[in-house]
Amino acid sequence: MTDDRVTIRLTADEALVLSHWLEKLQMTDLSRVVDDPAVWAPVHRIAGTLDKTLPALFAPDYAQRLEDARARLRPEG
């Protein structure tokens, strides 16, 4: 098997909202949510990559940025 890579492109809003959700997911007992331990490695890799590229959770405006991103991503109506 070759080491082919897959690239996923997200908007900044999508990345921020997904990163926040993954952070919450990782704080739970993953085995209760993800029934296959093989999935944990990619979940951690994605979360780590997002953590390196997004504003820090402890940034003073993080909560506002997150809420603004959520509002832009929610379907209208």
Extents of the domains making up the chain? 12-73
The answer to whether the beta carbons of residues 55 and 65 sit under 8 Å apart is yes
Task: Answer for the pair 24, 66: CB distance below 8 angstroms, yes or no.
Answer: no
Residues in the chain: 77
pLDDT tens digit sequence for 24-54: 888 887 778 888 889 888 988 999 999 999 9
Q: pLDDT value at position 1?
A: 58
Of 60, 49, 3, nearest to 22 (Cα)?
Answer: 49
Rounded to whole angstroms, the maximal C-alpha distance in the chain is: 46
